[in-house]
Amino acid sequence: MPEEYYDIYDENGNPLGISKPRSEVHANGYWHRAVHIWILNSNGELLIQKRAEMKKSYPGLWDVSSAGHVSAGESAEAGVLRELQEELGIKAKPSEFKYLFAITEESI
With cut-offs at 50, 70 and 90, classify the pLDDT of residue 34.
very high
pTM recorded for the entire structure: 0.87
Domain span including residue 74: 35-90
Residues 51 and 62 both lie in one domain: yes
CATH number at residue 50: 3.90.79.10
Query: Would 108 be classed as within a structural domain?
Result: no
Residues 52 and 19 both lie in one domain: no
Q: Region of 83 please: left (phi>0), alpha (psi -120 to 50) or beta.
A: alpha
Residues 48 and 86 both lie in one domain: yes
**pLDDT tens per residue, range 61-96:** 999 999 999 999 999 999 999 999 999 999 999 999
Whole-angstrom distance, CA of residue 21 vs CA of residue 6: 6
Query: Would 106 be classed as within a structural domain?
Result: no
Residues 27 and 49 both lie in one domain: no
Percent of the chain with pLDDT over 90: 85
Residues 83 and 56 both lie in one domain: yes
Query: Would 96 be classed as within a structural domain?
Result: no
Q: If 0-12 CB within 10 Å is exposed, 13-18 middle and 19+ buried, where does residue 99 land?
A: exposed
Give how many domains the chain has, as a whole number.
2
Query: Would 26 be classed as within a structural domain?
Result: yes
